[in-house]
A and B are shown apart, each in its own frame.
Chain A
């Protein structure tokens, strides 16, 4: 099945810093989503982005489907951005969402 790798596994930054999270996938995809899991365990949808670029406030994402990677950018980080960020994909011809191992982001005040 399709493989999803995220990097870095852990990232510690000061408030106000910018960050880039990467997601590599091993095959063509129909769906790619980025999620933020907050400290209470809730998964929050950030982007549905199988290709192209999207922006939502301080967050933006780019997926280059032909090169099989996606990037999540967080600018001017806030402590509330802390948590685990997951990339998940649905491979071509599949129906299930396959998750990467996540990037744990810690923003210190």
Chain B
């Protein structure tokens, strides 16, 4: 199974600022996914990031608010821009195992916006 790390693990940010979250995988993967989990809620997919192409965003999420980079097959970043308290959530990246199709998740980034 893939080993996924995320940085930072948690942060407290002021409203109006931006935070970039990093996701590193220990093997090459085609697709990486970014999810948001608001307090007490389930996980919602933000976007799918393929290397070499623009990310595909789900309904309700836009590139200006959540720009994503995917410079290579083991790394991706998600930026939460112009933050408001409503952006306080856990942000998780995940990857799909190319052989088993099972998805694995990173440890998450717990973001609090004040």
Contacts and interface: CB of A to CB of B under 8 A. Distances in A.
A41 B42 contact: no
Given A95-B31, A97-B33, A86 B102 contact: no
B48 A96 contact: yes
B42 A45 contact: no
B104 A45 contact: yes
Contacts of A95: 31, 48
Interface string A90-109: 10000111111110000000
Interface in A75-101: 86, 88, 90, 95-101
B42 A33 contact: no
Interface residues of A, number: 20
Interface stretch (B12-20, B64-72, B105-113): B105-113
B1 interface: yes
Contacts of A30: 101
A97 B45 contact: yes
Given A95-B31, A96-B48, A97-B33, A86 B43 contact: yes
A101 B42 contact: yes
Interface in A5-55: 30-31, 33, 35, 41-43, 45, 48
> What's the dominant secondary structure at chain A's contact region?
strand
A42 to B, nearest CB: 5
A42 B104 CA distance: 11
Contacts of A99: 42-44
Contacts of B31: 95
Interface of B: 1, 31, 33, 37, 41-45, 48, 58, 90, 92, 94, 100-105, 107-108, 110
24 contacts: A30-B101, A31-B101, A31-B102, A33-B102, A33-B103, A41-B37, A41-B107, A41-B108, A42-B105, A42-B107, A42-B108, A43-B92, A43-B108, A48-B100, A48-B101, A86-B43, A90-B101, A95-B31, A96-B33, A96-B45, A97-B33, A98-B45, A99-B43, A99-B44
